[in-house]
Structure 1
Amino acid sequence: MSSSTVEEVRAAADALVAAFAEGRLEDYFGSFAPDASFVFHTTPQRLESTAAYRALWQSWVDEDDFRIVSCASTGRLIQDLGDTAVFSHDVETVISTRDGEETVRERETIVFARKGDDRWTAVHEHLSPYTS
């Protein structure tokens, strides 16, 4: 496992998680390839593009005044697979809606791919509920 690859993927994951936690949606969605796919335990279908995810996010905002209050990432693992890498972690997110604040605990896997400009870009995200 290349330590430079792990550090590069860690930096890309850190930037993605920070943008999510801070509500910087341009940076957050910009961390994903346009054709990234998303599997969320809270939605009945796979989302097959970042635009589809962004539209879903906007519906949450429109319907529930959805926003992220904070996000903590723990138990991180990065698996170097050459020009791809798998980042998995436990996520504790505080969200706010019209109903108030709620803490959500999940496990997340993000697959990163090294793109032509040597930038690590998220190409798939999968969320599962955290069960202890």
Structure 2
Amino acid sequence: MSPESPDDVRTAGVDSPAAADALAAVDRIIADFGANRVDAYFAGFAPEATFLFHAEPARLESRAEYEGLWASWVAASGFEVRGCRSTNRRLQVFGDIAVFSHDVDTTVHADGELSDSHERETIVMQLRDGAWVCVHEHLSLPS
């Protein structure tokens, strides 16, 4: 599973090379997640990025906290992402901030079994030193 083509993204204020770069950075995060390239995936996040996940009781306050949670999933169940598909994609650009929202279908392997989930996600990117980096991610269940 993979992101749709960039032509399938609804956009607002994105008629610029910076917007294309923001979308490419988001797509790298999604592709690295979907291919279980853990180090590359986490490299897309700022160290102080925050995370809100519907399955977690509290906000994660840093990339390191999320990395620790991920490592605990691996240790407890052999957690591994097997695929991720991004649909219903929208990118909005506001200067050096980009907000990407989409529907995400994920397949994971844990405890010897495959499972699929359907969620909605918002990824907030910031342009820093010429590169887009994720500063916040929010994952929720569809209504």
Q: TM-score range by the shorter chain?
A: over 0.9
Q: CA RMSD in A?
A: 0.9
Query: Partner residue of 1:15?
Result: 28
Post-superposition Cα deviations, 1:61-102, rounded to whole Å, max 9, x if no partner, equal: 000111101000011100111010100000000011115111
Q: Which structure 2 segments of 5+ residues have no match? A: 1-12
TM-score (norm 1): 0.95
Does 2:120 match 1:120?
A: no
Does 2:90 match 1:42?
A: no
Bigger Cα displacement from structure 2, 90-99 vs 37-46: 90-99
Q: Which structure 1 segments of 5+ residues have no match? A: none
Identity %: 44
Query: Partner residue of 2:7?
Result: none
Structure 1 stretches (4+) deviating beyond 6 angstroms?
Answer: none
TM-score (norm 2): 0.88
Contact 2:14 2:92 in 1 (8 A): no
Q: Distance in 2 between matches of 1:71 and 1:62?
A: 21
Query: Partner residue of 1:72?
Result: 85
- Partner of 1:48, secondary structure, is coil
Post-superposition Cα deviations, 1:95-125, rounded to whole Å, max 9, x if no partner, equal: 111151110000000000000x210000000
Shift of 1:9: 1.1
Query: Partner residue of 1:33?
Result: 46
- Partner of 2:84, secondary structure, is strand
Residues matched between the structures, number: 130
Q: Distance in 2 between matches of 1:2 and 1:13?
A: 14
